[in-house]
Amino acid sequence: MSEQRDLPESMAWRVIGRLESGQIQRSVADTVGVARSVVARMWNRFKETGNVRRRPGTGRPRATTSSYDRYIQLTARRNRTENATQLQRQLLLATGRRVSSQTARNRLHEGGLYARRPMVCIPLTHTTVRPEEDGLLNMEIGSNMIGAKCCLQTSPNSV
């Protein structure tokens, strides 16, 4: 016997129609050519949900609905410089729904966008540009992730 995954939706509605008209499950199963358990399961699903479609598979339920997903993506497009944490806060203020910043990043990625990573920029002032004894200028640009200072050396004529 071939293993059939699920009845087509049109056939499932015919089965429900026959059952609602008063036929017993055994005769409906014989008429359609499926096992009685398939008809019984379909009838129970219809009584519980009012629909014949299968429910989505098992797994963790999504933290956001499709409208929340669209809101996160729209906010990211409007405010190009906001990172995932700021988008998460925007969603909380607008809808009252609390999601993690990782969820915000995931929803952006699903929409073909990427979370912005904040970049720390230190503006160059006269205190960060100081002359050295060897005739070169050291300009302190910033520090990297491990705390080491990044410097750029140039000659005084090129500045």
Using an 8 Å Cβ cutoff, are 11 and 21 in contact?
A: no
Q: Cα angle vertex 13, ends 12, 14, to 5°?
A: 90
**What is the tens place of the pLDDT at every residue in 6-25?**
778 888 899 999 999 999 99
pTM for the model: 0.43
Using an 8 Å Cβ cutoff, are 83 and 118 in contact?
A: yes
pLDDT value of residue 118: 63
Whether the per-residue pLDDT at 122 is higher than 60: the answer is yes
pLDDT value of residue 16: 92
**What is the tens place of the pLDDT at every residue in 84-111?**
999 999 999 999 999 999 999 999 999 8
pLDDT value of residue 121: 65
Query: Which pLDDT band holds residue 60 (cuts at 50, 70, 90)?
Result: confident
Q: What is the mean pLDDT of residues 32-59?
A: 84
Place of tokens 């960060």: 128
Whether the per-residue pLDDT at 132 is higher than 70: the answer is no
